[in-house]
Structure 1
């Protein structure tokens, strides 16, 4: 929309308050604020939800892989062959044998349910999600036959365990006696404590060398699963389709979407719902802009009539009032972008401040999965938010602009 020099001058005058037009200016100010809050809320909510999904995905996949080959009855006898077949499959970048078994742990008179994870030593130290998040102790001390293990931070808190503490792992698969099967209880020393940032994992995971796990669970040379990583997680099903029939005699392939389908589907539904709900805020702001323009048109009827008698065209009057409305919308968008960026930059500080002021735990990791408020801003989503806002503002300016253009100068100036 291109305005001539005199149209730009008139639009500037209409944007600034004059005597007797304070109420119109206040309404326009509220419109700017509503647009700004709507844009900021959309950017913040969408960025936090994107960050939540991305962070959760990275941490879940970082510990569980993109897919796993699960052995029937919880055992993979020919896991070496499964690993070889997986590595030979196009698109598979890594195949890691491991043992995963729910057990019980006891320390300092406390008992907690755990998820034992047995990995090769090189896989333990080579996993950045574990090795880069050690909060106490040394991961290098977790070696075969050392009797050392690594615990999740929340589990360590629940058991009252620290580096150097003794933790007893209790397996129901023990030795048979005349009175039944006695559970197998083996004590290990805590040599490292890690915090990956996912509450459920930090609360349950115990990591040890796979050879020690085989001894504890009396599995011999067997493992329970083979963890797979692929080049493109979104195409994991298609990439692993050729491998499925090859390993069908040993186990079944389960990918990350099947393991966490309910969680990620719920996140996606909530993301779409929040976008629609927050767009309503911008729609209300657009109605406010329309209201302020309607009042401005009524206040400027005499000016419009004079301009029309001086040769101003209907199209020119339409452009002037649309420029006024769009300017209000653009100012609101710019303020909203600034507010959204500021909140996202200081998001954790804001959450901590509100928690301190209210005394409420707004980000309980036992409920939210992650330990901190995440964020990931998508430039394409921000552009879409700005575009949607501009479209709504543009539509809101059409009626008052056309109303101004339809002003009949003869009718207005008849009694002047």
Structure 2
């Protein structure tokens, strides 16, 4: 057995001449453990919110979106897009035309995003799972064109899930100049009927602005016949997303952007990642402060074991071995605190996941979920363990070497 480690282990669990050393050692372990618990819980909470937001976007965003790298639209019969549609891993491919417009209902109006989609849009996404109302999702019926509004947009316009009378949509003409004597001629105007439902993604980006319409209607409104804003894809079950995405990128070249769901919501997930990073940094600073307790404990232990150090030197121990005894002592405190903190943190995360102990609000329905979401990522646990050990070891290295030299020089 390693001699310095053997002696350090005996010092850790043996009684000291001064009881305060034992107390400070326990406080050191508790301090490291509490900081570790905080890291586990906070990072798991950020993971929980990240996964929650990702699940919300899943209901609306396609698995893969192919959009023009330059400009807003591209020809729908582009050979590159045809090759992508024909890939064996593609299950559903939907053309989309998307642009801004003005929606007017009775005396209310709002700037909206018109999203024109194919009839197979419900197969592409989980839109049917987020509908509210007494109707059903549809795009056309006979000569009627339906528009499905986001729930917040329906509240803004005062339409409700089912409205009476037309919802008028205005889009500026693409070519020519506006005649100031007749400004209405500068807009393409069309109307939508109600399918009797609204959708709720639970993200204001969609709920407050989007209207889902037939792509043929959107092409007429925006004067984009034969064009598309994006090709949205759903893969067959069992397909590897990263492999298919890489293959599509190779086909698309520089002409098209190929994005998965996370890249489609790049801004949202970047902000969440930055918040998680800052939380990790701040809690690591707290961990550093907690590790100063280890330095205090080791300082008292070195003074307490001064005579033992002299005895060990007389028995043949080198100065380096004596120094390593106290280094191992500090490192063991850090390891015990890290392991205890991680275990307690995982237990608390499991309790929150299972029973939802900490609630977001006092009443049900006020938030998307009633309790704080928790998601344990074991890569984070490994990072936390490495961080605690690294901080603990670095915190004791210089003080122990300095104190040991002073002790051994006497």
**For 2:124 and 2:153, how far apart are their aligned partners in 1?**
22
Q: Is the 8 A contact 1:69 1:225 kept in 2?
A: yes
Q: Is the 8 A contact 2:43 2:280 kept in 1?
A: yes
- What does the per-residue CA deviation read over 1:253-299, in whole Å, with 9 as the maximum and x for residues that have no partner? 23338866666555555555554443333233223212221122223
- What does the per-residue CA deviation read over 1:169-208, in whole Å, with 9 as the maximum and x for residues that have no partner? 412358x998341552414215223222332122212223
Q: Aligned to 2:360, which of 352, 356, 370?
A: 352
Q: Aligned to 1:157, which of 155, 158, 164?
A: 155
**Aligned-pair CA distance for 1:52:** 5.2
Q: Aligned to 2:32, which of 31, 35, 38?
A: 35
Note the residue ranges of structure 2 that are not aligned, 5 or more in a row: none
Q: In structure 1, what is the equivalent of residue 378 of structure 2?
A: 379
What is the TM-score when the length of structure 1 is the normalising length? 0.71
Query: Is the aligned partner of 1:240 residue 2:241?
Result: no
Q: Aligned to 1:184, which of 182, 185, 189?
A: 189
What is the TM-score when the length of structure 2 is the normalising length? 0.72
Q: Is the 8 A contact 2:12 2:329 kept in 1?
A: yes
Note the residue ranges of structure 1 that are not aligned, 5 or more in a row: 246-251, 412-416
Q: In structure 2, what is the equivalent of residue 131 of structure 1?
A: 128
Q: In structure 2, what is the equivalent of residue 325 of structure 1?
A: 330
1:3-402 aligned at under 5 Å gives the runs 8-14=9-15, 20-22=18-20, 24-50=21-47, 63=61, 66-70=64-68, 76-79=74-77, 83-88=81-86, 95-107=93-105, 109-128=107-126, 130-145=127-142, 147-166=145-164, 168-173=167-172, 179-180=182-183, 181=185, 184-214=189-219, 222-228=227-233, 232=241, 236=245, 239-244=248-253, 252-256=255-259, 271-302=276-307, 304-305=309-310, 321-338=326-343, 340-341=345-346, 342=348, 346=352, 350=358, 352=360, 376-399=375-398
Count of equivalent residues: 387
Q: Is the 8 A contact 1:35 1:282 kept in 2?
A: yes
Q: Decide whether aligned partners of structure 1 residues 114 and 31 sit closer, same or farther in structure 2, where only a CA change above 3 A counts.
A: farther
**For 1:372 and 1:160, how far apart are their aligned partners in 2?**
32
- What SS does the corresponding residue of 1:256 show, helix, strand or coil? strand
- What does the per-residue CA deviation read over 1:103-131, in whole Å, with 9 as the maximum and x for residues that have no partner? 22344643222212122232224412x23
- What SS does the corresponding residue of 2:35 show, helix, strand or coil? helix
**Aligned-pair CA distance for 1:379:** 1.3
- What does the per-residue CA deviation read over 1:320-358, in whole Å, with 9 as the maximum and x for residues that have no partner? 5445423432342234324544258638864625xx69x
Q: Decide whether aligned partners of structure 1 residues 311 and 77 sit closer, same or farther in structure 2, where only a CA change above 3 A counts.
A: closer
**For 1:242 and 1:30, how far apart are their aligned partners in 2?**
61
**For 1:286 and 1:272, how far apart are their aligned partners in 2?**
21
**For 2:284 and 2:6, how far apart are their aligned partners in 1?**
35
**For 1:156 and 1:339, how far apart are their aligned partners in 2?**
47
- What SS does the corresponding residue of 2:383 show, helix, strand or coil? helix
